[in-house]
Amino acid sequence: MKHVFLTFSLILLLLSCSDKNNSLGKVDAYVPVYANMHDATQISWQSPQAIVNGGKIATIGNRVYQVEADKGIHVIDISTLAAPVKVGFIKNSLCRELSLKGNYIYTNNLTDLVVLDVSNANTVTVSSRISNAFPDLALQYPPATNCYFVCADPEKGIVIEWKLQQVDNPKCSR
């Protein structure tokens, strides 16, 4: 009886460890977009961008600052309320939050807390940085759950974005 139980247990164990993803074929899955750490920590002023995934909004004087989730911050001049004008975009990887005080924007860059000086028109300067202040903001998993994705590979760099694509037999799911 003991041998029958052990044999049955071994068969169940082997069946439960089978690779269920082997026969998926082509499915919609998230694919990581990588950047090297140096490029991802660079914050720069750029020309205005389209608002695609707009987030939080805050104002200083005649300017509105709006988060573009995971990409940066839109800068909009509202001197004429009836005709707001996009004046620039602050590129900032994994940007999700912002708060303003005086001429400073407090935001995240990857997992760091950064303070941006925006006192000079159409420029941005990093005033200070506290590394790894928000460790949970690392994008090692896609934004959705109950989905398939290509496993992140730290050797390729830091994940700064996930794109939904057709993938043949993705190995990861959540």
Q: What is the pLDDT along the chain (174 residues), one digit of tens a residue?
A: 554 444 444 444 344 334 444 578 899 999 999 999 999 999 999 999 999 999 999 998 899 999 999 999 999 999 999 999 999 999 999 999 999 999 999 999 999 999 999 999 899 999 999 999 988 877 788 988 999 999 999 899 889 889 999 999 999 998
- pTM listed for this prediction: 0.78
- Phi and psi at residue 3, to the nearest 5°: -70, -40
Q: Which of 119, 111, 120 is nearest to 92 (CA)?
A: 111
Q: For residues 34 and 11, give the distance between their C-alpha atoms in angstroms, rounded to a whole number.
A: 41
Contact 50, 36 (CB under 8 A): no
Q: Which residues contact 105 (CB under 8 A, 6 or more apart)?
A: 65, 73, 90, 98, 99, 115, 116, 118
Q: Is 67 helix (H, G, I), strand (E, B) or coil?
A: strand
Q: For residues 166 and 28, give the distance between their C-alpha atoms in angstroms, rounded to a whole number.
A: 5
- Beta-bridge partners for 147: none
